[in-house]
Amino acid sequence: MMNALLLADLHGEYGMMGSFMDLNPDIVFIAGDITNMGPVKGVETCFSRINVPSFSVPGNCDPEDVVTALEHSSSVNLHGSVMNLGKLTLVGIGGSNPTPFGTPLEYTDKQLDDILKKPVERMQRSIHNVLISHTPPYGILDFIGGNHVGSATIRKYADNFDLVCCAHVHENRGIHEENGIKFVNPGPAAERYCAMIHFGEEPKEIEIELLTV
């Protein structure tokens, strides 16, 4: 059994990181919005408090200089990349599709497709295949203000995975399952929310707990 702690939407609130690490994960996934429009030093502050391997993507509230800092941090930047970890294959996509707020890291769905296509084509399927995306798929864990705000591109590629970890829509914390694929939004870590993902030895043997510290 491998236990992965999923965090997202920290927005610069790193004070509870010790409490998250007290959950004793084997690895940590961070699904974006590490900072709240910066600053760069937030990346170092965040990862200095994580004492296990971590794998991250930026969020729409992480400016380009924060993304560059993530490249040089102790965490693996999965944005537009694929990585095999034995029984896990991880693919990552950061930023979001356009929002009404003009945040720093927004892409059209075509741009998201261009970023995600290559790592999906290169991925070698493992026992568990995981997408870590800041933005949710369209129609899944993405409802706010009477509208679905997720990405059609993320929805398009979801069928390649057993688990999709997403964030972005703070109000849609939850777990959803569709066509044998599990989707999870852990809720904003800035409000002490997280999820623990338990990966078993067999395909589809994935259990998810929504937790608060």
Average pLDDT of span 7-11: 97
* Residues 19-73: tens digit of each pLDDT: 999 999 999 999 999 999 999 888 989 999 999 999 999 999 999 998 899 999 9
Structural tokens at position 205:
């043997």
Antiparallel, parallel or unpaired: β 193-199 and 163-165 = unpaired
* Residues 60-91: tens digit of each pLDDT: 999 999 889 999 999 999 999 999 999 999 99
User: What local confidence, expressed as pLDDT, does residue 107 receive?
Assistant: 97
Q: Please tell me the distance from the alpha carbon of residue 194 to that of residue 210, in angstroms, as a whole number.
A: 6
Question: What region, left, alpha or beta, does residue 66 occupy, with left being phi > 0 and alpha being psi -120 to 50 degrees?
Answer: alpha
User: What local confidence, expressed as pLDDT, does residue 67 receive?
Assistant: 87
User: What local confidence, expressed as pLDDT, does residue 168 receive?
Assistant: 97
Give the closest residue to 58 by CA, choosing from 35, 87, 26, 40. Answer: 35
User: What local confidence, expressed as pLDDT, does residue 78 receive?
Assistant: 97
Decide if 80 contacts 116 (C-beta within 8 A): yes
Q: Is the pTM of this model over 0.75?
A: yes
* Residues 154-203: tens digit of each pLDDT: 999 999 999 999 999 999 999 999 999 999 999 999 999 999 999 999 99
User: What local confidence, expressed as pLDDT, does residue 125 receive?
Assistant: 95
Decide if 9 contacts 34 (C-beta within 8 A): no
Q: Please tell me the distance from the alpha carbon of residue 158 to that of residue 161, in angstroms, as a whole number.
A: 6
- List of residues 6+ apart from 105 with CB closer than 8 A: 58, 59, 60, 61, 62, 63, 64, 67, 94, 95, 96
Q: Give residue 150's pLDDT band: very low, low, confident or very high (50, 70, 90).
A: very high
* Residues 93-148: tens digit of each pLDDT: 999 999 999 999 999 999 999 999 999 999 999 999 999 999 999 999 999 989 99
ω into 39 cis (within 30 of 0)? yes
Q: Please tell me the distance from the alpha carbon of residue 141 to that of residue 129, in angstroms, as a whole number.
A: 20
**Domains defined for the chain, CATH in brackets:** 2-212 (3.60.21.10)
- Over the chain, what is the mean pLDDT? 96
User: What local confidence, expressed as pLDDT, does residue 99 receive?
Assistant: 95
User: What local confidence, expressed as pLDDT, does residue 91 receive?
Assistant: 98
Q: Please tell me the distance from the alpha carbon of residue 12 to that of residue 106, in angstroms, as a whole number.
A: 19
